Structure 1
Amino acid sequence: MAITDPSMASSWSPLGPGQSSQLSFCPSLDAIKLEEARMLLSGMDYSRTTCQDEDGDTILHIYTAKGLRECAFAAAERLRDVGRLDAKEHKGKTALLVAVTANQPEIVQDLLSLGADINACDVKGQTALHLAAHYGFPGVLQAILSRRPVVNLEARNFEGMTPLHCAAISHGVTMKALSTTGLADVNLQTKAAEKLSCVQMLLSEGASLLSQEIKSNKTVLHLAVKEGNIDLVRYLLRIPLPNMKDFVNMKAHGHTALHMAAGLHGNPHQEEILQLLLSRGADPSIRNLENDQPAHLLQSGLQGEQVSCPSVPLVQLLFSSRVTR
């Protein structure tokens, strides 16, 4: 039985009459281990199971960080009953946020079923969604998104970023590391795929492509283009938006994505990114705050001439709009 109303959590028990240990919302919760965990906690000093240590950790934080699921569930029940399920440690993390960073999707789901605050944030303003997106944990992200519409997809951390921005930036970091180490790094390849899936999951659940960072006004497209993240650029520009042209031409402090692509000097994906943007309606005549069109920002010399090769008509369009100053 999945609890969708947190108010039901106080009266719900995973071992109710007629229930098996294989629960629909948490199929691997072991009923015997859970009972043992409850007995263990009942034998402890009351303050130990409900209070916080010098770092602000409760026993729930500790069990969660160690991935001790049944112990965490029993501790969560105890803290829920005294109204301390969302107690925060010294970095502002609730047990739910610790479960996210520890990549424990089952514990995340358990805590949410018991009424943990899904939109609680740490000292950096990061919610469970921000953290799952940043670390690239698809299983955890899915557990959180299953609580829609309670979870706030557009929550901002203290840097002014939504979870989607965090996912895009994190994917870019991994792609850059992959380009440095080479495609032979299977672990990085796997992590890049997981992080891209997090971007996809957020978008499929309704995260806004048009959301802009508060500090820089960048959208996810700006973020992807600025880092030369060709995989993410390809994915974003394949999304069938009715207002794709408006999306592509959005400005971040005066710069369109096309301006940023023109500034990717030496990046092996510059030409393809320019072509992709132009093919999706990027306007090469738009000027930034310095009155530059994208063509003015292209590298000079041989590299710039190669980018404007006549065999690439879309990039020629970029140059055809350039005015001489």
Structure 2
Amino acid sequence: MAITDPSMASSWSPLGPGQSSQLSFCPSLDATKLEEARMLLSGMDYSRTTCQDEDGDTILHIYTAKGLRECAFAAAERLRDVGRLDAKEHKGKTALLVAVTANQPDIVQDLLSLGADINACDVKGQTALHLAAHYGFPRVLQVKQKKYRSMTPLHCAAISHGVTMKALSATGLADVNLQTKAAEKLSCVQMLLSEGASLLSQEIKSNKTVLHLAVKEGNIDLVRYLLRIPLPNMKDFVNMKAHGHTALHMAAGLHGNPHQEEILQLLLSRGADPSIRNLENDQPAHLLQSGLQGEQVRCQSVRQPATPFNFYQGSLANHNFSLNL
């Protein structure tokens, strides 16, 4: 019963911070509806209110997916009392994960206040923070950020922002809904970083940082944002490797991407080292495209002020693009 399509979710209107499970601290929780929900559950068969169906759903999963806040609250109280508040359905989602995916912030707040496990993950290893970052729900990210399994929520937010930016680019930058969603997802990245997420964190399987992810997808908005962050070790950050490739290697491989030249310039201006070689012994210049477009990138870069673009200089005819060859 867990919702996986955020387009089915209701609008975002979170409770304020510091609210507890007590009704007096939840002004938007309807007291009359809550009592009716409690009476409804008390009249049901006990197993129906505490057990799981063939898909693993509890009645709490069902109420949560439907956005029935008072019913979900009453069901959560019942399951909490029997130690089953974090029961998982067939995809490993607890009611809290369903609430996050369905963009039900009030129910998220209620479940957390009743003791739902913020660290619970589904069969894919996704936590509430991962899902909130993926779908671009910034207010859920006000809870403390932690690292989980293969990717951190910061990686999820960066990947999700990239997907939306690609969709936006495909529509000709005229889709207001996608523009709004892209802004929300970028705010997730910003919020995670403000809450202590590390730019230096690397995805376990690929060793990519958020900068690698942004550059690899040609996500110019995210690249600009990340490289504006004042880091004392910016040069180290820019030159981190993911399976041998620096962000500059990845930018050189953005053949045909309209933002390739700007990304190259941004990286070089922030200390990217063009002499670094990857596991194939290639420097970034070796990965630039051949043909007219590649020549244009090189020529445009050579025209720039001295230092950062020297790595393009050399014999263009012989494709000897690096001074360090």
Contact persistence 1:271–1:315 (CA under 8 A): no
1:274 shift after superposition: 0.5
Deviation sequence 1:110-139 (CA, Å, 0-9, x none): 000000011001111111111111111123
1:102 shift after superposition: 0.3
Q: Which segments of 5 or more consecutive residues in structure 1 lack a partner in the other structure?
A: 143-152
1:141 shift after superposition: 2.6
Distance 1:5 1:126 in 2: 15
Distance 2:163 2:61 in 1: 29
Distance 1:230 1:11 in 2: 29
Contact persistence 1:41–1:74 (CA under 8 A): yes
1:39 shift after superposition: 1.1
Give the secondary structure class of the aligned counterpart of 1:92. coil
Match status 1:207 vs 2:197: yes
Give the secondary structure class of the aligned counterpart of 1:76. helix
Query: In structure 2, do the counterparts of structure 1 residues 320 and 97 end up closer, same or farther at CA, with 3 Å as the change threshold?
Result: same
Deviation sequence 1:266-312 (CA, Å, 0-9, x none): 10000100011011111111111111111111111211121122899
Distance 2:188 2:217 in 1: 18
1:44 shift after superposition: 1.1
Contact persistence 1:55–1:90 (CA under 8 A): yes
Query: In structure 2, do the counterparts of structure 1 residues 316 and 200 end up closer, same or farther at CA, with 3 Å as the change threshold?
Result: farther
Distance 1:192 1:9 in 2: 18
Contact persistence 1:221–1:257 (CA under 8 A): yes
Q: Which residue of 1 aligns with 2:323?
A: 321
1:155 shift after superposition: 8.4
Deviation sequence 1:154-206 (CA, Å, 0-9, x none): 98999711111111111111111111111111111111111111111111101
1:40 shift after superposition: 1.1
How well do the aligned residues superpose, as a CA RMSD in angstroms?
A: 7.0
The correspondence of residues 186-225 of structure 1 with structure 2, limited to 5 A, is 186-225=176-215
Contact persistence 1:127–1:157 (CA under 8 A): no
Distance 1:76 1:46 in 2: 14
Contact persistence 1:164–1:220 (CA under 8 A): yes
Deviation sequence 1:20-68 (CA, Å, 0-9, x none): 9996754411111111111111111111111111111000000000001
Deviation sequence 1:74-126 (CA, Å, 0-9, x none): 10000000100000001110000000100011110100000001100111111
Query: In structure 2, do the counterparts of structure 1 residues 154 and 318 end up closer, same or farther at CA, with 3 Å as the change threshold?
Result: farther
TM normalised by structure 1 equals 0.85
Distance 1:196 1:259 in 2: 24
Contact persistence 1:112–1:118 (CA under 8 A): yes
TM normalised by structure 2 equals 0.85
Distance 1:2 1:57 in 2: 8
Match of 1:235 among 219, 225, 230: 225
Aligned length: 313
Q: Which residue of 1 aligns with 2:216?
A: 226
Query: In structure 2, do the counterparts of structure 1 residues 16 and 221 end up closer, same or farther at CA, with 3 Å as the change threshold?
Result: closer
Q: Which segments of 5 or more consecutive residues in structure 2 lack a partner in the other structure?
A: 300-304, 309-315
TM superposition outliers: structure 1 runs of 4+ over 4 Å:
1-25, 153-159, 310-320
Contact persistence 2:244–2:279 (CA under 8 A): yes
Query: In structure 2, do the counterparts of structure 1 residues 6 and 267 end up closer, same or farther at CA, with 3 Å as the change threshold?
Result: closer
Identity %: 93
Contact persistence 1:271–1:307 (CA under 8 A): yes
Contact persistence 1:294–1:318 (CA under 8 A): no
Distance 2:91 2:199 in 1: 30
Give the secondary structure class of the aligned counterpart of 1:318. coil
Deviation sequence 1:219-239 (CA, Å, 0-9, x none): 000000000000000010011
